[in-house]
Amino acid sequence: MSLGGNARSGGLRDGEPMASAGLRIAVASGKGGTGKTTVAANLAATVVLDGLRAQLLDADVEEPNCHLFLRPVIVESTPVEVLIPEVDVARCTLCGRCSEVCEYKAIVVLPTTVLVYNELCHSCGACALLCPEQAITEVGRATGVIERGAVEGDAIEQRAVERGAVGKLAFVQGRLNVGEAKPVPTVRAVKGAVAGEVDVSIVDCSPGTSCPVVEAVRDSDLVLLVTEPTPFGLNDLRLAVDMTRELGLPFAVVLNRAGVGDNRVQRYCEQEGVPILLEIADDRRVAEAYSRGELAIEAVPELRARFRGLWDAVVTSVGATASLVQRSAMQASPTSEER
């Protein structure tokens, strides 16, 4: 798996201004349980129903949930390996250099042997590179898995096809193996798994603001921060805003369960000049549909137009190329039977 590769660097084709991963939209939040998965899965389904080619990348590898709502058929499963040192005891002179250069205390030289603590290793390669006896080789150790598939034969795609659209939803998710501490390599693998030519990639992130989230939102054209109108929602939104600012990424807010608390999030967004692209009203029907693993846009049909509005707002705010906007509008407008 390449570490620094930018998936958007794919070659341009004639008349095709967008690169293969398309627009990259990350869905994140400081606080957990605010509705990231709801926003990611419903937005993906909405754009596909409108004829776009999309991929959903579930980068919440500790607890990936998008599959529960999109029910993809997984066709390929690949382990995600990290490199760990393996010491050739025949060559090792117990000189202690490896342990000296390891900043993570992951390799320890004892009087008669060398111990490697796999879970502390960051796979930096220092021990192998600096071993004077070349007694260390790096070997792969699986810490997670990525699964690829498509939401085929599913209601979403059938409906898109019935309406003459070519929409298609590719699906990738990562799963960290239980007991593993470091999710970042699996997040990175999910982000690198671009499923062919798509118009938009939607990345569902884990909650919080630290390393797995940073890896998941990196290189996004827009980060949607999902929050709720409560003290916890506001506190954690501020932290998420700090993170996206620190990374220099454009961001906007989706306010979920609007009406459940007070107006503090709206006031904050107004003061900070942060646009709120969608407010989803607190609605027991949405919560119950969620509990059953159903998409909100199917359980509450009027939400379909709201998610289409969110997509339009996303496209406007990133200033996407005219062709994509046109395409979205062209295929969305003639069929609005659900309104």
Which parts of this chain interact with another protein (CB under 8 A)?
Answer: 3-4, 30-34, 37, 62-63, 65, 68, 101, 103-104, 122-126, 129-130, 176, 178-183, 206-214, 230-232, 235-236, 239-240, 242-243, 246-247, 259-262, 283-285, 287-288, 290-293
Tokens 């898995």 identify what position?
Answer: 145
| Residue 90 vs 181, nearer CB to another protein | 181
To another protein, the closest distance from the beta carbon of 110 in angstroms equals 23
| Residue 82 vs 332, nearer CB to another protein | 82
Give just the sign of the alpha carbon dihedral 304, 25, 189, 242: negative
Residues in the chain: 339
CB contact burial 226-238 (16+ within 10 A = b; e otherwise) = bbbbbeebbebbe
Distance separating alpha carbons of residues 91 and 87, to the nearest angstrom: 8
To another protein, the closest distance from the beta carbon of 20 in angstroms equals 20
To another protein, the closest distance from the beta carbon of 64 in angstroms equals 8
To another protein, the closest distance from the beta carbon of 132 in angstroms equals 13
**How many other C-beta atoms can be found within 10 angstroms of the C-beta atom of residue 292?**
9
Q: Strands across the sheet with 222-227, in order?
A: 73-87, 136-150, 168-176, 53-58, 200-204, 23-28, 222-227, 251-258, 276-281
Distance separating alpha carbons of residues 329 and 336, to the nearest angstrom: 12
To another protein, the closest distance from the beta carbon of 279 in angstroms equals 16
| Residue 52 vs 241, nearer CB to another protein | 241
Q: What type of residue is 92?
A: C
To another protein, the closest distance from the beta carbon of 104 in angstroms equals 8
Beta strands in the chain (DSSP E): 23-28, 53-58, 73-87, 107-109, 114-116, 136-150, 168-176, 200-204, 222-227, 251-258, 276-281
To another protein, the closest distance from the beta carbon of 335 in angstroms equals 30
Q: Are 57 and 26 in contact (CB under 8 A)?
A: no
To another protein, the closest distance from the beta carbon of 15 in angstroms equals 32
**DSSP assignment of 84-151, as one string?**
EEEE-TTT-----HHHHH-TT--EEE-SS-EEE-GGG-----HHHHH-TT--EEEEEEEEEEEEEEE-
Backbone dihedral angles phi then psi of residue 72, each to the nearest 5 degrees: -75, 155
To another protein, the closest distance from the beta carbon of 8 in angstroms equals 15
Q: Are 204 and 172 in contact (CB under 8 A)?
A: no
